[in-house]
Amino acid sequence: MSAKQLGQASLATKTAFLFPGQGSQKAGMLAELAEQFSGVQATFAEASEAVGFDLWHIAQSGEGLDQTEFTQPVLLTASIALWRVWLELGGVVPKCMAGHSLGEYSALVAAGAMSLGDAVKLVHLRGKLMQSAVPQGQGAMAAILGLDDAKVLELCEQANMQGRGSVEAANYNANGQVVIAGDKTLVEAVMASAKENGGKAIALPVSVPSHCSLMKPAAEQFAQALEQTAIELPRIPVIQNVNAEAAADVAQLRQALTAQLYQSVQWTKTMQLIQDQGIQYVAECGPGNVLANLAKRLPNIEKAFPLDTKSRLEDALNAILVAEGKIA
């Protein structure tokens, strides 16, 4: 994203942008918008050239789309394509940004902290390292619903004491919604205990258990690649997953991205900080509406918009421009 385009757009005071992570991909994503805006395919072409394979083909056909080494660069590119369309249409620059897991990289590219080409190479490697850290079928993730955070942590502790391996809280997504990750047998044990305690448990269709200590070997290798990537402080504040704060310097930013592989995503705290900053409108810049739906439940968020179709994009653009006082 050029500094010029960012510089020309109006600044918002009540709007934040959220960038989704893995699980939001679907075959055929952004196909309708690509027919209307040439920038969508141009963005995919730019990213494909950087990684050396055709990301648009994967996004449209679905071939390999659920393998994390491909999911990650495809989703990041889709988010940046939408962000560019938003700016092209005269959308405001949000007051702050946050991305869920992989989405943190999309937010950093949108905020000018790293180039699209560097970021897609980085997340392609991130996916490969994550996949190789845990043998296929050994790890798992599950969403635990209807129990408070402390109870989920207690159930993880109990499982860890009984079995070999580990299970941990990976994503704090919202009050009463925690995702756990770790060794498959222990994840299944926590799922069973959660149901016995009146909660719900849903196994997630992922190939890798993210945001848990099984990812530490991947993080060590990934840190080296991060060191060699040109990164600067974002021009728009990006709230980080690991500590729900914006980085004060580039060293802190790199450290947080490394730690993010094996530490939990503090999304509940991130959304609280966003509300504390006076944000009333959020837009989800990527395929789907998972983050918009989570945001809708929050007391201070008046509206949460997905942007992944022409009608959704136009609705968000009009509502946010009116709310920000840019149009009557």
Token couple for 82: 């939408």
38 is catalytic: no
Token couple for 95: 């007051």
211 is catalytic: yes
User: What's the 3-state SS for 102-145?
Assistant: CHHHHHHHHCCCCCHHHHHHHHHHHHHHHHHHCCCCCEEEEEEE
Cα atoms in the 13 Å half-sphere on the side-chain side of 203: 14
DSSP E strands in the chain: the ranges are 15-19, 96-99, 139-145, 167-174, 177-183, 200-203, 238-239, 265-266, 281-284, 303-306
Which one of the listed residues 48, 193, 210, 211 is annotated catalytic? 211
Which one of the listed residues 101, 207, 210, 264 is annotated catalytic? 101
Q: Cα 204 to the chain's mean position, in Å? A: 16
Determine how β-strand 15-19 pairs with β-strand 281-284. Answer: parallel
Residues involved in catalysis: 101, 211
